[in-house]
């Protein structure tokens, strides 16, 4: 018979503070016909040095570990006693960690006054190396019993209360942390749901050219529909960047209007634009609201700088086609970035453009490396192009076009990005 024991004869898996020492003993029965001198020890599969062993008797071997580090995994570190042939005789899991620190940076927000989400940090030390439980608790300040938040989002240190919340009444919210080595409680924060409201990103963001102005784009968007029945003022922010850069420029002074004009832009350049909203003063709240997430990117290009044809007759069809192909090449480069991985991609064409199939001829500049080709069907005054197995050609009928690239929702990708350009 074999068994594993700690020096104090506690047969349970030990839970130790970081920096602790541990002595473990492996006792073998005489009927195995082996001696303790032939045994060896491993920690997480790695053989320990002989100078950590001690033969206490012909049937007992011990190992001593000093200055233990935090466990490498939540399931514990495996300390195992082996026979000389590698057979496992006994073992135990070591849980080495630290007690939780006081949770800090507790912040909460309510989406459209319907729910409450809270986030916190685990303290300056952060990692405890062993299983640590965090519970978000809340209660009405003046009455009622405390409740536990039960819907954790899967993200660390975030919990979500989906329903049954009161407005015009303050709540107290705090976090309790505990593990086998100790416990800690955050400071209590007091909040009113109306003071911590955020909303969905602004809908229907549209970016378009401003006539022939080469350095400007017009941006329009809708107000938050979920708050249409609430008395409040909305503040908006806009940010934009050029296609080849990840650096955004933010416009803070968009105010409460639902349109804005971007100026000082580069001619002949694709820009990506996003908008977000801050609902301020809901039902007279004097607290600043919380910014929504940014809307999906909407793209548009400024006009090019070539004015050689101004005042002249209409371009010949071949010249129209050359300019169009250049624009299409730019558009499909943009589309590859925003629809990669989608199984069903469609392009919605606003205004009147015509598309026809060209099965015999491949227009290499108009298709992506993964051979996305297009066919189309008519829907009322709009035209939908769906990814299929054919190449495309395109004839201009009006000067202004907006493309909306829509991904398959089953892939859980973005609902859509909009690209527009003029001819």
Q: Out of 69-73, 304-308, 363-367, 401-405, give the one with best mean pLDDT.
A: 69-73
Q: Is 311 part of any domain?
A: no
Read out DSSP for 272-339? EEEEEEEEE-GGG--S---PPPPPPPEEEE---S--TTTTSPPPPHHHHHHHHHHHHHHHHHHHHHHH
Residues 189 and 113 in one domain: yes
Higher pLDDT, 315 or 104: 104
Residues 180 and 220 in one domain: no
Among 304, 337, 342, which Cα is nearest to 323's? 304
Residues 89 and 111 in one domain: no
DSSP character at residue 166: -
Bridge partners of 198, per DSSP, are: 111
Residues 131 and 182 in one domain: yes
Residues 87 and 17 in one domain: yes
CATH number for the domain spanning 209: value is 2.60.40.10
Residues 55 and 134 in one domain: no
Residues 82 and 117 in one domain: no
Residues 321 and 342 in one domain: yes
Residues 139 and 121 in one domain: yes
**Mean pLDDT computed over 341-356:** 43
Structure confidence at residue 140 (pLDDT): 93
Q: Is 82 part of any domain?
A: yes
Residues 51 and 65 in one domain: yes
Residues spanned by the domain of 60: 3-97
Share of the chain above pLDDT 70, in %: 69
Q: Is 341 part of any domain?
A: yes
The CA-based dihedral angle spanning residues 316, 321, 327, 332, taken in that order and rounded to the nearest 10 degrees: 170
**Can you tell me the distance from the alpha carbon of 197 to that of 203, in angstroms, rounded to the nearest whole number?**
18
State which of 152, 167, 196 marks the end of a domain.
196
* pLDDT, tens digit, 9 for 90 and up, residues 289-332: 899 999 999 999 999 865 444 433 344 444 445 555 555 666 66
| Predicted confidence (pLDDT) at residue 411 exceeds the cutoff of 90 | no
Neighbouring residues of 321: CB distance < 8 A, sequence distance ≥ 6: none
**Mean pLDDT computed over 114-118:** 93
| Predicted confidence (pLDDT) at residue 414 exceeds the cutoff of 70 | no
Q: Is 309 part of any domain?
A: no
* pLDDT, tens digit, 9 for 90 and up, residues 376-410: 333 333 333 433 333 333 333 333 444 444 444 44
pTM above 0.85, yes or no: no
Q: Is 112 part of any domain?
A: yes
**Mean pLDDT computed over 327-356:** 52
Q: Is 310 part of any domain?
A: no
Higher pLDDT, 153 or 320: 153
Total domain count, the chain? 4
Provide the pLDDT confidence category of residue 340 given band limits of 50, 70 and 90. Answer: low
Provide the pLDDT confidence category of residue 96 given band limits of 50, 70 and 90. Answer: very high
């Amino acid at each position: 018979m074999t068994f594993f024991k700690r020096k104090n004869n506690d047969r349970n898996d030990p839970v130790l503070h970081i920096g602790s020492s541990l002595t473990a003993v492996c006792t073998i029965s005489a009927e195995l016909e082996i001696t303790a001198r032939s045994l060896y020890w491993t920690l997480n599969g790695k053989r320990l040095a002989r100078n950590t062993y001690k033969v206490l008797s012909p049937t007992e071997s011990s190992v001593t570990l000093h200055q233990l580090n935090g466990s490498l995994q939540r399931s514990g570190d495996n300390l195992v006693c082996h026979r000389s042939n590698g057979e496992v005789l006994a073992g135990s899991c070591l849980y080495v960690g630290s007690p939780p620190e006081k949770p800090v940076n507790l912040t909460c927000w309510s989406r459209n006054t319907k729910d409450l989400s809270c986030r916190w940090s685990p303290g300056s030390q952060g990692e405890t190396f062993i299983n640590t439980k965090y519970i978000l608790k809340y209660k009405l300040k003046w009455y009622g019993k405390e409740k536990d938040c039960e819907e954790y989002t899967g993200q660390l240190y975030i919990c979500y209360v989906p329903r049954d919340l009161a407005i015009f009444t303050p709540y107290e919210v705090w976090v309790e942390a505990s593990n086998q080595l100790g416990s800690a409680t955050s400071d209590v924060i007091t909040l009113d749901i109306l003071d911590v409201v955020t909303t969905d990103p602004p809908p229907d963001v549209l970016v378009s050219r401003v006539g022939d102005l080469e350095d400007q784009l017009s941006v329009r968007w809708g107000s938050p529909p979920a708050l249409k029945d609430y008395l409040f003022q909305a503040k908006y922010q806009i940010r934009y960047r050029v296609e080849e850069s990840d650096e955004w420029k933010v416009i803070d002074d968009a105010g409460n209007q639902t349109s804005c004009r971007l100026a000082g832009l580069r001619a002949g350049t694709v820009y990506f634009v996003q908008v977000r909203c801050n609902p301020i003063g809901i039902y007279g709240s004097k607290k600043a609201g919380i910014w929504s997430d940014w809307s999906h990117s909407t793209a548009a290009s400024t006009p090019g700088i070539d004015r050689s044809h101004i005042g002249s007759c209409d371009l010949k069809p071949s010249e129209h086609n050359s300019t169009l192909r250049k624009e299409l090449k730019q558009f499909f480069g943009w589309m590859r970035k925003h629809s990669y991985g989608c199984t069903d991609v469609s392009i919605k064409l606003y205004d009147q453009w015509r598309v026809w199939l060209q099965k015999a001829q491949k227009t290499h500049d108009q298709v992506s490396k993964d051979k996305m080709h297009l066919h189309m069907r008519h829907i009322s005054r709009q035209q939908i192009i769906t990814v299929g197995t054919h190449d495309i050609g395109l004839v201009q009928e009006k000067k202004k076009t907006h493309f909306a690239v829509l991904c398959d929702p089953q892939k859980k990708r973005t609902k859509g990005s909009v690209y527009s350009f003029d001819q």
